[in-house]
Structure 1
């Protein structure tokens, strides 16, 4: 068996969990927990909580703590969660990371400090080193490489330095570039040392697993986890190929509109629950034409309806 199957803390299929919201745009803990449980029952091995898809940087520090606390209080297994804790400053990043550790999360996903652009490698190394030292142990650190959003790329050289300095602490990377060559570079450089690489591109899962990726953390698996699990479990053969083709088609459908409101629209229509359309600015709801178009695109894939999603009772969650 590969390292991804035997030693990775989050090996397998991880959804970048959508955070449900109420009409006043406060976090809706019951709906979020219900969706998390549905994902774990329908193909997910773990959950990337409060990442980009979960709109983490649209929430304040107290709200982010509460989202995680309420997932635990609502019986979502804490050991299956990888919370995003990266902020623009040391203090909040360390506080959120310690909070996740103290709740029982095995690891956290940390963005680079993303306000100041073009930082030096030395500056990034100093930042991550300081974060790790201030956390004080007992927590795995996963680096979040998403330069399209953060505008701060993480080089192979930087990750290599951090691995040397903090063995067993810096455990992996989520690569959300969607660039196969970038994911391959991380795998080639570090996977043999047990470093966990998680592509964020749904279309890359089967290919990267063959090279040594530990699994995936993707947005579309909020809806396609059952197909991703077939790819992860089978790896090769007709079933895996068909499941990967379905993941590709669904991700293409998701990309016909802005991704996060588009996923919320599919959830709203699949569950019959209007509340899934609530979204914090600067994101906005889809227009009626966009909403109809993305629904038609998803229907054309053949993936809908998704098992157990319609009528699962989210519409009756407390307002």
Structure 2
């Protein structure tokens, strides 16, 4: 897809924290810089992997402001702004727009289960109207987590009602047929489809999708960048095989603490293991399993990470 705002590889960025569980913006900024220098075209911050729903409204604003103040380009950032509260979603979306972010990723209102498409349409209509433009909205389809899916019919209605505002989707369902259907139905209208699963990057690009937004990109973005640049051929195929293997390595243990463990070991910075409850750090056994799995995938040491840490 040409002219996609976030076209390419986007990491669903981990949120660094200090011992008091407060956001550690210096550590997070360092990681963001490494990602942008090692295969990432953009950064999805304050999503599932970033533990957004473990942070309050003011904390989420401070994290975004802190990254921009430390030199991470707002144009590269896609913050998550979808909340159960309509007014919180509006406030965070306006804040992201005013910070200079071109787009936001929005979960559906996830507390009440089984809402109708009419109810979801009404929710997003209110959000769009109250925000008042100036920022693209990307839908976050993750039914395993939110229990509130986006149907193709609903997406079509939103695109018709708000052309150019409802700009794309991150599909974390793991259902490639659903991603494929979204591309075939809506990409012709400039709707950007991003896979939330690393193993589908090469396929979705060939289909006409825009790229990926994934958790494992925190550590495998080097190979994602190769797939995005090359698309086809032996080098791209080998890089895609590494993406698939690292995705499986990432999900061999609880995903978020597992990625923190890989970054902690790769940087020598134990602070990356700090995580907010109800999540917990990996056990020693899990940590060894995760490290061994990434090694077996051929992804260790992470390209440039130790060098980047030493240069700070």
TM-score range, shorter chain: over 0.9
Alignment of 1:84-233 (within 5 A): 84-233=80-229
Deviations 1:171-215 (A, max 9, x none): 000000011111011111101111000010100010111111101
Q: Distance in 1 between matches of 2:232 and 2:126?
A: 42
Aligned ranges 1:1-319 → 2 under 5 Å: 4=1, 6-313=2-309
In the alignment of these two chains, the number of paired residues is 312
2: CA distance, partners of 1:312 / 1:201: 27
Deviation at 1:312, TM superposition (A): 2.8
8 Å contact from structure 1 (residues 272, 315) kept in 2: no
Question: Deviations along 1:143-195, whole A, 9 cap, x unmatched?
Answer: 00001000000000000000000001000000000111110111111011110
Once the two structures are TM-superposed, the CA of residue 314 in structure 1 deviates from its matched residue by 7.8
Unaligned runs of 5+ in 1: none
Provide the C-alpha distance between the structure 1 equivalents of 2:175 and 2:220, rounded to a whole number of angstroms: 21
Cα offset for 1:313? 3.1
Query: Which SS does the other structure have where 1:144 is aligned?
Result: strand
8 Å contact 1:142–1:170 — kept in the other structure? Answer: yes
CA contact (8 A) 1:250 1:301 kept: yes
Superimposed CA distance per residue, residues 27-63 of structure 1 (whole angstroms, 9 cap, x where no aligned partner): 0000111100100001000000100000000000000
Shift of 1:315: 11
Q: TM-score with structure 1 length normalisation? A: 0.96
Q: CA RMSD in A?
A: 1.1
Q: Which runs of 5+ in 2 are unaligned?
A: none
